[in-house]
């Protein structure tokens, strides 16, 4: 399986944008000038544009006739975040928020755990996040195809909307309430922080509750995918999802 699905050429990329394909990002050769229509469409759809050496584009496309433009397509179809919010509310369930987690194996493992424990889906930031690629799919054992996935330019703004709709926001981070002693309110989401930085301050600030996994060993932290599994098991039990 390819790491990404690649299309190349100015018109094919424009058509992919017009038709609403799930595009991870667009690469433009450093010595090329993309059509204004292409640039405008990408900005309108909040799709990242990256300037790169022409050689990189040709390697990714396995073709030298790229016209200086390629697009990396996601193997999954992204949904609007409101779709995740509404389904979470209707099911009185939860979804996971991945706060700039860049390791695709972690994203895949978390997605698998989320699907197993009944999460509606996952919400990702458009920038500084692992793309949904072959590594994610393999790490998730295909579970990524059974949950809803959404990308947002601003997690903070998105979660404010979720809260306005009646949702509760929880963050998994050090220094919070013991997760084994929390009675979760639903509908809800759980924020999982990046591998190195944890949950960002702006997201902690809008969270209703900060929760922590109690630990007694010499190592003071868990890998984010392991922490996610423990956390989602607690949510699964607490929300009574195992009886549905």
β pairing state of 168-178 and 209-212: parallel
Query: Could you tell me the CATH superfamily of domain 81-243?
Result: SPOUT methyltransferase, trefoil knot domain (3.40.1280.10)
**Cis before 166 (ω within 30):** no
How far is 161 from 146, CA to CA, in rounded Å? 24
- Angle in degrees, CA 224, 164, 174, rounded to 5: 25
Q: Which of 2-6, 145-149, 156-160, 229-233 has the lowest mean pLDDT?
A: 2-6
Higher pLDDT, 51 or 134: 51
* SS3 of residue 123 by DSSP: strand
And the tokens for 183? 């009675």
Domain segments of the chain: what residues? 5-73, 81-243
Residue 243: per-residue pLDDT: 45
Q: Report the percent of the chain where pLDDT is more than 70.
A: 95
Length of the chain: 244
Residue whose token pair is 């394909």: 21
| pLDDT greater at residue 76 or residue 82 | 82
Average pLDDT over residues 67-95: 92
CATH topology of domain 5-73: 60s Ribosomal Protein L30; Chain: A; (3.30.1330)
Q: State pTM to two decimals.
A: 0.78
What's the pLDDT tens digit per position in 200-223? 999 999 999 999 999 876 666 788
C-alpha span between 24 and 71 (Å, rounded): 8
Range list of H helices, 62-153: 81-91, 104-116, 134-139
């Amino acid at each position: 399986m390819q790491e990404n699905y690649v299309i190349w050429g100015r018109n094919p990329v424009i058509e992919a944008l017009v038709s609403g394909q799930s595009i991870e990002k667009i690469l433009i050769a450093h010595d090329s000038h993309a059509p204004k229509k292409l640039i405008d469409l990408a900005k309108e759809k909040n799709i990242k544009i990256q300037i790169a050496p022409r050689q990189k584009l040709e390697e990714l496309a396995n073709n030298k006739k790229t016209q200086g433009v390629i697009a990396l397509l996601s193997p999954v179809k992204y949904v609007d975040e409101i779709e995740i919010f509404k389904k979470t509310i209707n099911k009185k369930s939860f979804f996971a928020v991945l706060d700039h987690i860049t390791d695709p194996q972690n994203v895949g493992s978390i997605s698998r755990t989320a699907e197993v424990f009944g999460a509606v889906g996952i919400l990702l930031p458009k920038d500084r996040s692992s793309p949904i690629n072959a590594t994610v799919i393999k790490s998730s054992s295909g579970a990524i195809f059974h949950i809803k996935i959404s990308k947002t330019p601003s997690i903070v703004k998105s979660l404010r909307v979720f809260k306005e709709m009646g949702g509760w926001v929880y963050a998994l981070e050090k220094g919070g309430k013991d997760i084994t002693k929390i009675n979760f309110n639903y509908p809800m989401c759980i924020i999982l922080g990046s591998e190195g930085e944890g949950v960002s301050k702006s997201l902690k600030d809008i969270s209703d509750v900060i929760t922590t996994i109690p630990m007694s060993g010499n190592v003071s932290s868990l890998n984010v995918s392991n922490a996610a599994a423990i956390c989602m098991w607690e949510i699964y039990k607490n929300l009574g999802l195992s009886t549905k």
